[in-house]
Amino acid sequence: MVVADWSWQLLARCRGEDPELFFHRDTERGAQRRMRERKAQEICSSCEVLRECRRHSLQLKERFGVWGGLTEDQRYRALGLQRDRRGHGWSPAGSEGDQQRLR
């Protein structure tokens, strides 16, 4: 069930922040990407709607960006999925324990 009430987003700490902090450019890799993700996660860590945001991203299987303090890779693992080689698709992986741990 996807929540139709999006009002929690009005309270998000990321409002007013540069979206590029939460979403990577196509050319971003390695240390540069990890550093950007850590900065985004730092903002998320003090957000009063972190749980709602995280739940939203997992329910909708958000493919891109940092949501609820989770990077793309963390969400894939939490959902028991993995990316295809090009990073475009989803396929089963991991364990159910991984899925429960981050909710």
pTM assigned to the model = 0.76
Q: For 76, what's the count of Cα atoms within 13 Å in the CB-facing half-sphere?
A: 17
Cα(101)–Cα(98) distance, integer angstroms: 5
Annotated binding-site residue? 6: no
Residue 2 in domain = no
Cα(101)–Cα(14) distance, integer angstroms: 24
Residue 9 in domain = no
Residue 10 in domain = no
Helix, strand or coil, per DSSP, at residue 33: helix
Residue 90 in domain = yes
Longest CA span, the chain: 36
pLDDT tens per residue across span 53-94: 999 999 999 989 999 999 999 998 888 876 665 555 555 554
Residue 8 in domain = no
Supply the range of the domain harboring residue 87: 18-101
Cα(3)–Cα(83) distance, integer angstroms: 25
Residue 12 in domain = no
Annotated binding-site residue? 14: yes
| Structural domains counted in the chain | 1
Residue 85 in domain = yes
pLDDT tens per residue across span 1-47: 455 688 999 999 999 999 999 999 989 999 999 999 999 999 999 99
Cα(8)–Cα(47) distance, integer angstroms: 11
